[in-house]
């Protein structure tokens, strides 16, 4: 069910939501968190779709906020429940520039009481999420530098202003890579890694974050090579002292090949992670990601970056 409420207030939206539940039997029990999405109007649809899918695992109230049409002097709202909202309730708000600038005040009447607040900027990331009005009230703050205008530069800005509870989805996109690398290194022979080579999509922040993680835990001799037209992360090579090098390659964005001395090549299912998978993972955590914090603050400065560009 979709209900449009043009020229309204958030108090009226809250009352309408209660009325919909009472009249239509929509049940709000079991909602475990508030997910507040702040972005441009053209960013919200994809973000809401991803959040709806993730809500099947984490039932929540989704509040999406964007500025209305240029010159708009009113608050327009839309309520989505039932089949149009997954396992969540969705409230879409398009307000004036002043209302959006004070998102904390705008959404206050719509928040589920005693439930955590997750703030998500699906587009251009603010440099200091915790200092934003929305970020100051949220326990978890999600950004996505892959969608920003200068991904690696914006990742550095997030590092300068990082606070516990901040997480960038570029880190979440590399979760499976980190798991695979860790599982292979847990197998004998246990030989120190002397050097790491990483290749991937030009200006892809996951490349730098994975390099920072490996630089922090294995060796600071980490080189990154950005390849135009590549699909995300495409190659990780762990160069070891005895020549028992380990290499992962993924060129098609779907399957990776693992090569190790003395063992047959292995084909591993490793698709590029969807936005809904990343959101579901972060909603599953809801506490500060200490490993991400360590990599962002201490791993990135350690690595020796060779930002080569393939011809």
Kindly report the average pLDDT of the chain as a whole number.
Answer: 90
User: Looking at the domain assignment, is residue 48 inside a domain?
Assistant: yes
Same domain, 14 and 112: yes
Asked, for residue 286, whether it belongs to a domain, the answer is: no
Whole-angstrom distance, CA of residue 130 vs CA of residue 132: 6
Residues 22-25: contacts with CB under 8 Å, at least 24 apart? 24/81, 24/82
- Residue ending a domain, among 152, 169, 186, is 169
Which of 169, 199, 224 represents a domain boundary (last residue)? 169
With H, G, I as helix, E, B as strand and everything else as coil, classify residue 230: coil
The answer to whether residues 100 and 23 belong to one domain is: yes
Q: Are both 164 and 29 inside the same structural domain?
A: yes
The predicted model gives 188-215 an average pLDDT of 92
pLDDT in tens, 72-109: 789 999 999 877 666 678 999 999 888 999 999 999 99
Pick from 272, 304, 271, 101: nearest CA to 170 = 272
140 Cβ contact partners less than 8 Å away, ≥ 6 residues apart: 116, 117, 118, 119, 165, 167, 282, 285, 286, 287
Q: Name the token pair of 147.
A: 């969608």
Q: Are residues 57 and 198 in the same domain?
A: no
| pTM for this model (two decimals) | 0.91
Do 108 and 235 belong together in one domain? no
Q: Select from 117, 143, 169 the last residue of a domain.
A: 169
Same domain, 183 and 54: no
pLDDT tens track for 248-291: 999 999 999 999 988 999 999 999 999 999 999 999 988 999 99
* 160 and 187 fall within a common domain: no
- Collapsing DSSP to helix, strand or coil, 24 comes out as helix
List pLDDT tens digits, range 13-36. Answer: 999 988 887 776 555 456 789 999
212-241: pLDDT as tens digits = 999 999 988 999 988 888 999 999 999 998
Same domain, 157 and 104: yes
In terms of pLDDT, which residue wins out, 305 or 183? 183
Q: Where are the alpha helices (DSSP H) in the chain?
A: 10-24, 41-54, 97-101, 103-107, 133-137, 151-160, 169-172, 175-185, 205-217, 275-285, 290-294, 300-302
Sign of the Cα pseudo-torsion (215, 218, 222, 228, in order): negative
Same domain, yes or no, for 117 and 36?
yes
Q: Say if residue 257 is in the same domain as residue 190.
A: yes
Whether residue 282 is contained in a domain is answered as: no
Query: Quick one: residue 8, left, alpha or beta (phi over 0 = left, psi -120 to 50 = alpha)?
Result: beta
Residue 304 contacts residue 212 (beta carbons within 8 Å): no
Are 131 and 158 in contact by the 8 Å Cβ rule? The answer is: no
The answer to whether position 288 is within a domain reads: no
Number of domains composing the chain: 2
> Do 98 and 73 sit in the same domain of this protein?
yes
Residue 85 maps to a domain = yes
Question: Residues of the chain with pLDDT > 70: what percent?
Answer: 93
Structural domain containing residue 144: 2-169
Same domain, 89 and 161: yes
Average pLDDT over residues 32-41: 93
For residue 291, being part of any structural domain is answered with no
Determine, yes or no, domain membership for 204.
Answer: yes
Q: Using CA of residue 179, residue 170, residue 47, residue 30, what is the dihedral sign?
A: positive
């Amino acid at each position: 069910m979709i209900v449009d409420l043009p020229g309204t207030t958030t108090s009226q939206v809250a009352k309408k939501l209660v009325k919909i539940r009472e009249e239509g039997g929509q049940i709000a029990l079991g909602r475990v968190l508030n997910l507040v999405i702040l972005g441009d109007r053209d960013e919200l649809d994809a973000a809401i779709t991803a959040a709806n899918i993730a809500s099947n695992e984490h039932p929540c109230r989704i509040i999406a906020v964007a500025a209305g049409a240029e010159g708009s002097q009113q608050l327009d709202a839309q309520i989505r429940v039932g089949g149009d909202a997954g396992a969540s309730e969705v409230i879409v708000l398009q307000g004036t520039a002043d209302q959006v600038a004070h998102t904390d005040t705008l959404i206050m009447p719509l928040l589920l009481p005693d439930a955590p607040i997750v703030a998500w900027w699906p587009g251009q990331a603010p440099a200091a999420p915790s200092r934003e009005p929305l970020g100051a009230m949220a326990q978890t703050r999600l950004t996505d530098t892959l969608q920003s205008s200068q991904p690696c530069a914006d990742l550095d800005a997030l590092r300068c202003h990082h606070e516990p509870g901040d997480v960038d989805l570029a880190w979440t996109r590399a979760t499976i890579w980190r798991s695979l690398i860790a599982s292979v290194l847990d197998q004998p022979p246990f030989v120190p890694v002397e050097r790491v080579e990483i290749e991937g999509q030009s200006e892809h922040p996951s490349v730098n974050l994975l390099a920072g993680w490996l630089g922090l835990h294995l060796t600071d001799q980490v080189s990154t090579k950005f390849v135009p037209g590549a699909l995300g992360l495409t190659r990780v090579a762990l160069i070891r002292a005895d020549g028992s090098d380990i290499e992962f390659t993924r060129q098609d964005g779907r399957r990776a090949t693992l090569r190790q001395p003395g063992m047959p090549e292995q084909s591993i299912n490793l698709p590029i992670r969807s936005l809904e998978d990343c959101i579901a993972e972060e909603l599953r955590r809801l506490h500060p990601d200490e490993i991400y914090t360590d990599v962002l603050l201490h791993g990135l400065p350690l690595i020796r970056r060779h930002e080569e560009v393939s011809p």
